[in-house]
Structure 1
Amino acid sequence: MKNILALVVVGLAIAGCTPTQQGATIGAASGAAIGGIATGTTQGALVGAAIGGVAGALVGRVAENSDDCYYRDRYGRRYTARCPDGY
């Protein structure tokens, strides 16, 4: 029961974060768990947390700009702009 309560509290705390912060938090936690299990050492868990945190932040950063669309002008140059309403 205590584990479930702890997960609920952590989930509510993360809910108020930006997608970048959420991605970094989830990535770091996942990386620490995987690194700790794979190596069986604290150092492995720390390295996994660092790698997972950076990767999660990058994924979250991309998700933050999800309302942008990619376009090409008549010269073939690619640019981004806000998507039209309802798109």
Structure 2
Amino acid sequence: MLYPILVEYYVWWCIGLLGVTWFTRSGDLVSRRNRMYFYGMLAAIGFVLGFDWMGGVIFGLLVLEVGTVFKRWLDAKQANLNK
């Protein structure tokens, strides 16, 4: 069920990944630049060569980026509870 959605909206997932990376990695500019180049390269290669499975990779990277923000938020909440 998820696979056709990943393939159908591949370009939108890629744009979403780049947008989320732009906002979540705003503190470390070098890391943000390197990740944007890497994710853009993956998106371009997957699109040009027609790799359908690359949609899953892009979606997984998107989940990881959002997960890092969620983990930082949870760590901040835990630090406040310990005070």
- Alignment TM-score, normalising by the size of structure 2: 0.36
Where relative contact order (Cα < 8 A, 6+ residues apart) is larger, the structure is: 2
Which structure has more helix as a fraction of its residues?
A: 2
After TM superposition, the score normalised by the length of structure 1 is 0.35
More strand per residue: 1 or 2?
A: 1
